[in-house]
Amino acid sequence: MAFLMRRCLFPFCCFHIVTCDIQYGTPLPAQCDNSVLELAPIRYIANVTNYSNCTIKGQPGTIIHGAIVAQDRYSSTGVTVLAGTILLDGVLLRSARLRIEGDDIAVRNSTISTGSSWTSAVVKGGKVSFEGVQFGEGSLSLINTKATFFRSSVDTYQAEGFEVSNSIVAMLDSSIAVWDDRHINLKASILTLTNSKLTGGHGSFALLDSNATLTNSSMGLYMGTQGMNIGNSTVVADCDSSDVAAFWIGAGNWGSGVGISSSRLTFHRCDCDIGRAIKIGSGSSYTGIRIDVSSVYFEGCAPSASKKVHPILV
């Protein structure tokens, strides 16, 4: 039986179709505990509170609106799994732990949050896209997947931070922030950032065995207590941002600085100024920039009387 959900913006707007948001759909079952919920290729309306150990499996054409909230959000055992092909559009999703293991999962104009410090969200395999999404609290891992972020923000305060491995990740007009001493680990992946930021607090940052392209974008740590490490990777970045370098560490703590090993970094439009490409905050006792068996190349640089800056080959 079809279900009609109305959201009226003004007291009498229900008498005027033009001012109402009317959504038709079939209600999701109220309970899905320790079971697999296989959905048809239709529109669903969710208003459920007990999906803590549930696999929601869709197929092309499955669309979900509404709220999916696990009762045991702060438990270490409750897991909500998204599988198959699903579009979550305008959804509030709260779960102790979230697993996205579908062929093609799209999340649009939604809010996702996971629970306490030992919980996390893991995307494994398949393809996932986030458009206009706010993701908060627990850690986020992208494993062997293709993930896109568009006009989305991720803020992780708990668990392990942000991890990417064997994945292809694209960010456009988006930000990922990992706070406190949580880590950023990017391994064996391809990352493309456009008008985006990937920032950490005072945890570690590692870009290993990967390719990264940064266009008007940056990767940095507010406090470099544990330093930044770029190893066996290829990076192409520009220096178009007027207020931050492509790679940066803020001031305020002692740390190991930026380490570059067995890598090739190419920077565009940096005016032959390494400070616009890689910058370490003043007033701190950082080790500095260490380059080992690597190349750091600044496009368009040539020796001159005023700027004796050359590509750095070590």
Residue 3 has pLDDT above 50, yes or no: no
Instruction: Give the CA-trace dihedral at 298, 302, 303, 309, to 10 degrees.
Output: -10
Residue 119 binned pLDDT confidence (cut-offs 50, 70, 90):
low
User: What pLDDT is recorded for position 72?
Assistant: 58
* Cα 221 to Cα 278: distance, rounded to the nearest angstrom: 12
17-28, pLDDT tens digit by residue? 222 334 578 999
* Cα 93 to Cα 97: distance, rounded to the nearest angstrom: 11
* Cα 71 to Cα 279: distance, rounded to the nearest angstrom: 45
User: What pLDDT is recorded for position 61?
Assistant: 97
Of the chain, the end-to-end C-alpha distance in Å amounts to: 69
Residue 216 binned pLDDT confidence (cut-offs 50, 70, 90):
very high
User: What pLDDT is recorded for position 252?
Assistant: 54
User: What pLDDT is recorded for position 138?
Assistant: 78
Of 80-89, 106-115, 172-181, 300-309, least confident by mean pLDDT is: 300-309
Residue 79 has pLDDT above 90, yes or no: no
* Cα 290 to Cα 282: distance, rounded to the nearest angstrom: 17
Cβ atoms 159, 138 nearer than 8 A: yes
Residue 209 binned pLDDT confidence (cut-offs 50, 70, 90):
very high
Alpha helices by DSSP H, the chain: 274-277
Of 16-30, 39-53, 136-150, 249-263, least confident by mean pLDDT is: 16-30
Distance of CA 24 to the CA centre of its chain: 32
Residue 208 has pLDDT above 70, yes or no: yes
Q: Which amino acid is at 141?
A: S
User: What pLDDT is recorded for position 229?
Assistant: 94
Residue 11 binned pLDDT confidence (cut-offs 50, 70, 90):
very low
User: What pLDDT is recorded for position 227?
Assistant: 84
- Give the tokens for residue 223: 């406090």
Query: Which of 28, 132, 134, 137 lies closest to 82 in space, CA to CA?
Result: 28
Token look-up 């007990």 returns 50
Cβ atoms 129, 110 nearer than 8 A: no
Higher pLDDT, 85 or 255: 85
133-164, pLDDT tens digit by residue? 999 877 899 999 999 999 999 988 766 789 99
Predicted model pTM: 0.85
Give mean pLDDT, residues 258-267.
Answer: 95
